[in-house]
Amino acid sequence: MLSARSASGNHVAMATTLVAAGFSEISATDPFPSDPGRYLVLRGGSIIAWATGHDTGPTTGFRMVGAHTDSPNLRVKPRPDVNSAGWNQLGVEVYGGALLNSWLDRDLGLAGRVVVRDGSATRTELFLDPRPLLRIPQLAIHLDGDIGEHGLLLNRQQHMSPVWSVGDAPSFAEYLADLVGTDTDEVLAWDAMTFDTNPACVAGLDGEFLVSGRIDNLLSCFVAVDSVIAAAGAPGPHVPMICLFDHEEVGSVSMTGAAGSLLESIVSRIGAALGGGPDERGRAAAASIVVSADGAHATHPNYVDRHEKDHRIAVNAGPVLKVNANQRYATDAGSAAEFRMACGDAEVPLQVFVNRTDLACGSTIGPLTSGRLGMSVVDAGCAQLAMHSAREMAGCADPEWFRDALTMFLSR
């Protein structure tokens, strides 16, 4: 049975899919099994799943796909109840590098988890309210005389608090208590966030585009889940594994982030359960390789000058291999060659992205994973536009190609 204390939101859907495919959940506080099988660990907003076979030993290398489960959004503050000019609002904090303007004039729902008192202990309740509860109205152009000259200027503190009622209204704690069926004074804490209630859709003249919130990076996460399930059904000479981390959008420094010790601990415990020690763990790491799966920038038709002219990236043209000489991506010649081989064997087209040298390059969990585990890493992902918007855009053909490439990579 999945642990509500560990799982939340989309993690439940992914973990449920893994369990249905024969993966057994292990509590992080229980001993790891030495028997061959399919296993998963849930920790906060992170999921790690792997499969071992009869030939798996303490020096067997890992084939991993790493991704991140979080996306930029607006998160509800601990004391969120605000009233201004008769409007009841929620105080929110911007999480990650959100494109603030994309959150204006949208119908927003609420989701997350709330911790409530349960006698002398606590329990965690997940909640999802898909109603259009919240809205951040943009200031009318008549009242913003500078917008034509200077563009839209938004202050995170002043301009991003959504409205959700007028007149008398319950507190946010009262709202949560009613939602999860408890008394208000039993509500101890929450992790609550907004989301665009508009459902994902297929768009474009010929239905070639995928439009949705949180494409960065749930697309990679769900593709990774499908890939490890397929690889577990036909195991190769390595341990197929996925590592879906939280908090990448805010630097990955957390208990469940890629800069923390979570994956290192899991890998070490798997090796120990198989009878290995420090020497065997080092040998296994040297025989391992990781795909850091994250969104890639498609060349924007209205901003072609922001892209490297000799490395144009298109949607529906296959996965994107990401390279950066300054190690913002962890790809090197050896890891790039491994991913190219996987794409070739899977008959999947491949593109290569390099950032303009005079523009700052974003980063991924790739360098962090490589540095913490001492493993070879390649950065790759699906091309998209509007990265970090409340509503992003990708190609419909690319997720299937990426899944096929990752399945081949995990099975090689």
The mean pLDDT of 352-381, rounded to a whole number, is 95
3-62 tens-digit pLDDT: 433 444 677 889 999 999 999 999 989 999 999 999 999 998 899 999 999 999 999 999
Same-domain status, 193 and 256: no
Same-domain status, 221 and 193: no
Residue 17 tokens, joined: 């899919």
Mean pLDDT for all residues in the chain? 94
| Residue, of 6 and 242, whose pLDDT is higher | 242
Where in 119-238 does DSSP place strands (E)?
121-134, 163-166, 187-196, 201-203, 209-212
Residue 62, strand partner residues? 239
368-405 tens-digit pLDDT: 999 999 999 999 999 999 999 999 999 999 999 999 99
Q: Is the pTM of this model over 0.85?
A: yes
Contact predicate 97/249, CB 8 Å: yes
Same-domain status, 300 and 187: no
Q: Of 144, 164, 197, which residue constitutes the final position of a domain?
A: 197
Same-domain status, 65 and 146: no
- Burial class (CB within 10 angstroms; exposed 0-12, middle 13-18, buried 19+) of 31: exposed
Is residue 203 situated within a structural domain?
no
Which single residue is written with the structure tokens 């799943």?
49
Is residue 1 situated within a structural domain?
no
Same-domain status, 87 and 59: no
What's the pLDDT score for residue 151?
87
Same-domain status, 360 and 402: yes
Q: Which residues contact 214 (CB under 8 A, 6 or more apart)?
A: 10, 71, 195, 392
5-9, 119-123, 193-197: segment of lowest average pLDDT: 5-9
Q: Which residues contact 34 (CB under 8 A, 6 or more apart)?
A: 273, 274, 275
- Compute the distance between CA of residue 385 and CA of residue 314 in angstroms, rounded to an integer: 10
Domain count, the chain: 2
Same-domain status, 191 and 221: no
Is residue 206 situated within a structural domain?
no
Same-domain status, 263 and 389: yes
Domain of residue 86, CATH code: 2.30.250.10
Domain of residue 397, CATH code: 3.40.630.10
Q: Of 146, 164, 197, which residue constitutes the final position of a domain?
A: 197
143-189 tens-digit pLDDT: 988 888 888 999 999 999 999 999 999 999 999 999 999 999 999 99
Q: Does a cis peptide bond (omega within 30 degrees of 0) precede residue 217?
A: yes
- Compute the distance between CA of residue 196 and CA of residue 349 in angstroms, rounded to an integer: 33
Same-domain status, 128 and 267: no
Q: Does a cis peptide bond (omega within 30 degrees of 0) precede residue 198?
A: no
Q: Of 163, 197, 231, which residue constitutes the final position of a domain?
A: 197
Percentage of the residues of the chain whose pLDDT score is greater than 90: 92
Same-domain status, 91 and 66: no
Is residue 189 situated within a structural domain?
yes
Is residue 202 situated within a structural domain?
no
The mean pLDDT of 237-246, rounded to a whole number, is 96
Is residue 208 situated within a structural domain?
no
What's the pLDDT score for residue 7?
41
Same-domain status, 308 and 402: yes
Percentage of the residues of the chain whose pLDDT score is greater than 70: 98
Same-domain status, 161 and 193: yes
- Compute the distance between CA of residue 335 and CA of residue 305 in angstroms, rounded to an integer: 29
Range of the domain at 160: 73-197
77-108 tens-digit pLDDT: 999 999 999 999 999 999 999 999 999 999 99
